[in-house]
């Protein structure tokens, strides 16, 4: 990795940490430049605009999420084991962040009514996530673990609702029961979704 690439990596890492704490719009180019030992113009040599930096942070978040949640979960057997892995890996993702939480859920609130390239990319990534959940559910139906009449889109909606409620309770309300409640809600959703054959085993 060249010195320029290393500097770019350090800028993105620091911007990611700041965005998780104060939001992406609150990330100051001047502060980032100072932390990287650069002038503001030197920082612009790596990122031509604040928006370009914001998009780089969003892509970094996607890469980290894929590495921590998606890839490990997809290595599990199809059906219920893979669904459980998705849930467990998401909970690990949230707990591993500093401060704890899902940056995508935070950015979704920050950009839900702020049009532009950053919002558009966030929408694409979140649609990819929901599509991934739907595909895992559909594979579970085909595997026979889940009901044949189960709607994968509705399951994904409820699954995401559990994860968002967990963030709300844990991050905003600082409720220590948030993980246990999220797990109980997930288990309830899974129990309602199992096929009769799977329930007998």
Average pLDDT of span 131-142? 98
Examine residue 12 and state whether it is found in any structural domain, yes or no: no
Provide the β-strand partners of residue 146.
194
Least confident of 4-13, 102-111, 123-132: 4-13
Q: What is the CATH number of the domain that holds 161?
A: 1.10.357.10
Domain contains 102: yes
Is residue 111 included in any domain, yes or no?
A: yes
Whether the predicted pLDDT of 194 surpasses 80: yes
Q: Does residue 16 belong to any structural domain of this protein?
A: no
Q: Is 48 domain-assigned?
A: no
Supply the range of the domain harboring residue 148.
Answer: 55-200
Within a domain: 2 = no
Has residue 68 been placed in a domain?
A: yes
Which pTM was predicted? Answer: 0.92
In total, how many domains does the chain have? 1
Q: What is the chain's mean pLDDT, rounded? A: 92
Residue at 79 is within a domain: yes
Model confidence pLDDT, tens digit, residues 38-85: 777 777 778 888 899 999 999 999 999 999 999 999 999 999 999 999
């Amino acid at each position: 990795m060249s010195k320029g690439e290393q500097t770019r990596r350090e800028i993105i890492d620091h911007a990611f940490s700041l965005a998780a704490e104060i939001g992406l719009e609150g990330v100051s180019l001047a502060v980032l430049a100072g932390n990287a030992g650069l002038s503001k113009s030197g920082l612009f040599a790596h990122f031509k605009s604040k928006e370009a930096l914001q998009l780089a942070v969003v892509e970094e978040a996607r890469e980290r999420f894929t590495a921590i949640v998606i890839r490990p979960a997809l290595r599990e057997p199809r059906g219920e084991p893979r669904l459980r892995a998705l849930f467990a890996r998401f909970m690990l993702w949230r707990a591993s962040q500093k401060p704890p939480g899902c940056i995508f859920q935070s950015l979704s609130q920050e950009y839900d009514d702020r049009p532009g390239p950053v919002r558009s990319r966030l929408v694409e990534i979140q649609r990819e996530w929901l599509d991934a959940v739907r595909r895992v559910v559909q594979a579970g139906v085909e595997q026979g673990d889940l009901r044949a009449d189960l709607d994968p889109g509705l399951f994904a909606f409820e699954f995401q609702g559990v994860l968002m409620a967990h963030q709300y309770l844990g991050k905003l309300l600082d409720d220590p029961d948030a993980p246990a409640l999220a797990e109980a809600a997930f288990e309830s959703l899974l129990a309602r979704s199992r096929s009769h054959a799977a329930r007998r085993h």
